[in-house]
Amino acid sequence: GTLANLNIDQFAMEGGATLQRQVIPLLISLVVGVGLGSVCAGIWSGGRVELGILPLGAAVISVAAALLFTVQGTFVDPVSTFTFRYGWACLLLFTLGFGAGLFDIPLAAYMQHRSPAASRGAILAASNFLTFCGTLIVSVLFYGLRAGLGMSSGQIFLLCGVITIPVFVYIVWLIPQATIRFLVWLASRTIYRIRVYGREHLPEHGGALLTPNHVSWLDGALLLLTSSRPIRMLVWAGNFQNPWLKRLGALFGAILIGDRPKEIAAALKTAREALRNGELVCIFPEGAITRTGQLQAFKPGMMKVLQGTDAPVIPVYLDELWGSIFSFKGGKFFWKWPRRLPYPISIFFGPPVANPQDVHQVRQAVLQLGATAVQQRSRRLTPLPCSFIRRCKQRLRAAKVADSMGTVMTGGQLLIRTLVLRRLLRRHVLSDAEKYVGVLLPPSAGGVVCNMALAIDRRVAVNLNYTVSSGVMNACIQQAGIRHVLTSRKFMDKLNLELDAEVVYLEDFKDRPTLADKLLSAAAAYTVPASRLEKSLGLNKLTSDDIATVIFTSGSTGQPKGVMLSYGNVASNVQAIDEVVHLRSDDVVLGVLPFFHSFGYTVTLWTVMSIDVEGAYHFNPLDGRQVADLCEKRKGTLLLATPTFLRTYLRRATPEQFQTLEVVVAGAEKLPRELSDAFEEKFGVRPVEGYGATELSPLVSVNVPPSRSAKTSDIDLKEGTVGRPVPGVSAKVTDLDTGETLGADQPGMLWITGPNVMKGYLGREDLTAEVVKDGWYMTGDIAKIDTDGFITITGRESRFSKIGGEMIPHIKIEETLTKLIAASEEEGLKAVVTAVPDAKKGERLVVIHTSLDQSPQQLCEGLSREGLPNLFIPSADSFHQVDELPLLGSGKLDLKHLKQIALERFGGGST
């Protein structure tokens, strides 16, 4: 830089410059180049010290300096200074300065970053002194070249270029890993946009073990690109059979793991020694690329690497790679089109885990980091109403929505009707200030249109539970400040409800659309680009934190509470469902759950509306024959139901009607193995169990259905569990008394965190604070998490009794009673356990049951024979028969009503 600066005056004079103003643009070009090169070096370093930029800087300097030699003769015109040749000279000087900026900044940053804090000042002072000495030497050299050897300015520039070549070669030889890493990173910028979070958790010195999730073939390369320190990767030797790949692996210090036990032990030993030597080592604890998108079980080899070292574990989460070309989404690697270019990728480094007790602790840290990653990503998700418009346009002429009343709508027809209804509601019913709007409609094409019309109008649809009394519904209406309830006259006549809000019958709008309404809506659906339509509706103003809906809890254990779910909550859940179930464009979702049910709202409404699938709806989930007919007509492939509903279908449907079903997911209550066996035997598809809660948008975990499993060594399903947490959701179990986090297979309180955690209870910040702490939601369920990450629900906290200082699980007693009663799966549950206060024991177990063939005394003796402790066995006089067990509209047991029955029969006194 100094030599070029000294040479510019002579360069200009030889080119015909006679005035200082003719020299200044040349100097400015060099200075601007240095400045821009410095800025680019900072940007391309990506928040780390990137020495890989040095060879690029040296190469640019060499080429630019050599090309300046070609600018011979007069290039400055005394009449018109800015000629083509003059501009060419300015461009080459700018390029020379740009290369100098690229070269200088990484060196200066490296010196400051690597210097010990205690002697950093002295080192920097010595550096400045050496820089001064170098400037002095170059000045003397320049004089010698000019006066002594009589070299022209062009020859001096050429000499600079030639001298820089060995510098370039030496740098590449000295730091080949950094050079290759940077060049690959620079090339990948056209394919990927990489965001890195938590880089400060990577130690600057000393050894550490990185433990990332494994999503794609590029995971290791991406980690190498994001670290300024070399990382030694533990990789399978079978991927490095090619001689060139072997050399590349050796260059980057890869530790190859073979198939034989001795080779595995040797590789783990090499990794352990690397940690002791202060190196960064990376191991993929899952042992293979995930085939489902979910975090798999961690192998114990990781702990063997850590043995005898004090190295911390750095959890790493690679986000957004599922669905990329190199992931297994769609059942194959490579042969996929990227969703967009450049493809966004996020890499999260978590806080170090010192001396982990087991792989479960590390897996939990990675899982929690994944929840943080998806929360960050959910802010960038497309708003649900925008997704609805795009999917309708994607299926303009293909069926999008159907129902059991014979309605079939293509995406284009659905969008037209939605836009027309929005215009009518704005013109005749809703004011601009009206935010919350009640909806009282069953799952149907009309219910879909109504919900979507409110969504694209940026209003909050509150789907009201039509199975409750007028008093409960009016309490919900009052909580949400609802002024209008949208319904149908035919449906309302069946309910016999008196509401404290203005009831709007949608049939009354049948003749109200004008010709302009129809034409404008049709034009918007078929001709206006989605982005322009979204902007005209104001949907570009929506954020992930905006409220999408308020769903009132079922009230199975108390009064309903209004759960506020944001667009980010629901959208993240929809994306997780798609990633785990692997939805296809030919899938047809059977929508039998009501929209006031959180699973009905998220899975059967918004999953259908925001993903390229079809939805087929029926208003009554207990109407087995109609549901079966709908499945046969629309060729349904996915069914979400409760075990109670599945028993109905088992009785009412024929095997031919359900022959297209591929995925059946049960929730809300425990799925008995006998029911799964009977359903599979009759229909050829085995139901799997999932878990969720309204406050969690609602899905938390699910077993991957066998039909959508990759059928590899990965464990996707464990019967008796509710599956693994879906991508982006993290779970932990804490001690009921101390609140300390428990290890694997230890039962305790289940907590959930992730982007699916609700915004809060409507108007009840006090209740929200009781259940949401530091982003974690307390489910109220007692559960355990095994070493593979599968969750087993053992009961609700409210479904335990404390007797004699012991916690007695009601569900355990119910399962044993069901076994003794030996009822068929078609008959369903016949006995439920609850409790009432007792003056002596604290609580008294009570059994509410339907008609039984055995006496209470016989059942008590049977419970004893099954090995239940005496505290688990109700007394024979604590049984009470009812005609039928009370259920909520969602299909769950009405535990609140059961408690009332027990209190009315047995009271709260001593026995």
Please return the burial class of 79, using the count of CB atoms within 10 Å of its CB with bins 0-12, 13-18 and 19+: exposed
Of residues 3 and 901, the one with the higher pLDDT is 901
What is the band of 618 on the pLDDT scale with cuts at 50, 70, 90? very high
Better-scored residue on pLDDT, 811 or 240: 811
Contact 731, 725 (CB under 8 A): yes
What is the domain-level CATH number for residue 46? 1.20.1250.20
The residues, ordered by sequence, that sit 6+ positions from 79 with a Cβ below 8 Å of its Cβ are none
Please say whether the beta carbons of 288 and 716 come within 8 A: no
338 phi, psi to nearest 5 deg: -65, 145
The pLDDT of residue 567 = 93
Q: State residue 37's pLDDT score.
A: 86
How large is the average pLDDT for residues 533-553? 92
Strands 280-282 and 208-212: parallel
Q: Categorize the per-residue pLDDT at 910 as very low, low, confident or very high, splitting at 50, 70 and 90.
A: very low
For the ranges 83-87, 468-472, 525-529, the lowest mean pLDDT is seen at 83-87
Q: What single DSSP character describes residue 882?
A: -
CA distance 138 to 140: 5
Are 615 and 683 contained in the same domain? yes
**Are residues 243 and 355 in contact, defined by beta-carbon separation less than 8 angstroms?**
no
Does residue 799 sit within a domain? Answer: no
- Claim to verify: residue 209 and residue 276 sit in the same structural domain: yes
The sign of the torsion formed by the CA atoms of 552, 553, 554, 560 equals negative
Q: Which residue has the higher pLDDT, 662 or 180?
A: 662
Number of domains in the chain: 4
Q: Are 273 and 307 in contact (CB under 8 A)?
A: no
Is residue 48 classed exposed, middle or buried when 0-12, 13-18 and 19+ CB atoms within 10 A define those classes?
middle
Q: Is 1 a residue whose pLDDT tops 60?
A: no
Q: Looking at 152, 182, 212, which one is the last position of a domain?
A: 182
* Mean pLDDT lowest among 279-283, 517-521, 625-629, 827-831: 827-831
Does 901 map to a domain?
A: yes
601 shares its domain with 501: yes
**779: its two tokens:** 């489910």
User: Could you list the residue range(s) of the whole structural domain that residue 318 is in?
Assistant: 189-378
High-pLDDT (> 70) share of the chain, %: 84
Question: Rounded to the nearest 5 degrees, what angle is found at the Cα of 651, between the Cα atoms of 650 and 653?
Answer: 70
Give CA separation, 276 vs 200, 208, 250, 310, 586, in Å.
21, 9, 20, 8, 54
CATH number at residue 247: 3.40.1130.10
Q: Of the candidates 378, 406, 435, which is a domain's last residue? A: 378
Q: Kindly state the average pLDDT of the residues 519-526.
A: 94
Same domain assignment for residues 374 and 421: no
Maximum CA extent, the chain: 119
User: Which residues in 549-580 are b (16+ Cβ under 10 Å) and which e?
Assistant: bbbbbbbbeeebbbbbbbbbbbbbbbbbbbbb
In terms of residues, how long is the chain? Answer: 911
Interhelix angle 120-143/84-114, rounded to 10 degrees, is 150
Q: Which class for 615: exposed (0-12), middle (13-18), buried (19 or more C-beta within 10 A)?
A: buried
pLDDT for residue 160 is more than 70? yes
**Per-residue pLDDT reduced to its tens digit, 756-788:** 999 999 988 988 998 999 999 999 888 999 988
Q: Which residues contact 804 (CB under 8 A, 6 or more apart)?
A: 841, 842, 871
| Bond into 698 cis (ω within 30) | yes
Q: Is the per-residue pLDDT at 870 higher than 70?
A: yes
**Is 537 part of a structural domain of the chain?**
yes
The reply to whether 548 and 657 lie within a common domain is yes
CB atoms within 10 A of CB 666: 26
What pLDDT is attached to residue 186? 63
Q: How far apart are CA 35 and CA 735, in angstroms?
A: 58
In a domain, 794, yes or no: no
Residues 509-523, mean pLDDT to the nearest whole number: 92
Q: Identify whether residues 333 and 397 lie together within a single domain.
A: no
Per the prediction, the chain carries an average pLDDT of 84
Cα–Cα distance for residue pair 756/371, rounded to 1 Å: 9
- CATH code of the domain containing 453: 3.40.50.12780
Which amino acid belongs to residue 573?
A: N
The answer to whether residues 150 and 196 belong to one domain is no
Among 165, 182, 199, residue at a domain's last position = 182
Q: Band of the pLDDT at 889, cuts 50, 70, 90?
A: low
* 589 pLDDT above the threshold of 80: yes
For residue 392, is it within any domain?
yes
Considering the domain architecture, whether residues 20 and 61 belong to the same structural domain is answered as: yes
Say yes or no: 422 and 536 in one domain.
Answer: yes
**Closest Cα partner for 278 from 229, 235, 220, 315?**
229
Asked if residue 313 is part of any domain, the answer here is yes
* Average pLDDT score over residue span 286-294: 80
CB 676 within 8 A of CB 687: yes
First to last CA, the chain: 97
The reply to whether 176 and 193 lie within a common domain is no
Per-residue model confidence (pLDDT) at position 485 = 95
- pLDDT reported for residue 911: 40
Distance (Å, whole) CA 275 – CA 685: 49
What does the pLDDT average to over 744-749?
A: 89
Q: Which one, of 521, 532, 524, 605, lies nearest residue 571 by Cα? A: 605
Task: Name which residue leads in pLDDT, 295 or 153.
Answer: 295
Is residue 76 in a domain? yes
Question: Which amino acid, 662?
Answer: E
Residue 635 backbone zone (phi > 0: left; psi -120 to 50: alpha; other: beta): left
Query: Are residue 22 and residue 160 in the same domain, yes or no?
Result: yes
858 close to 811: Cβ distance less than 8 angstroms = no
CB burial of 761-800 (b: ≥16 within 10 Å; e: otherwise) equals bbeeeeebeebbeebbbbbebbbbbeebbbbbbbbbebbb
| Lowest mean pLDDT across 232-246, 442-456, 860-874 | 232-246
Convert the pLDDT of each residue in 649-690 to its tens digit. Answer: 998 899 999 999 999 999 877 888 888 999 999 999 999 999
Closest CA to 778 of 767, 786, 789, 792: 767
Which stretch of 143-147, 296-300, 744-748 has the lowest confidence by average pLDDT? 143-147
Q: Specify which residues 792 forms β-bridges with.
A: 784
Mean pLDDT of 179-199: 71
700 and 772 inside one domain: yes
Instruction: Examine the pLDDT at 433 and tell me if it is beyond 50.
Output: yes
**pLDDT for the residue numbered 124:** 64
Does residue 310 form part of some domain? yes
Per-residue pLDDT, 147:
65
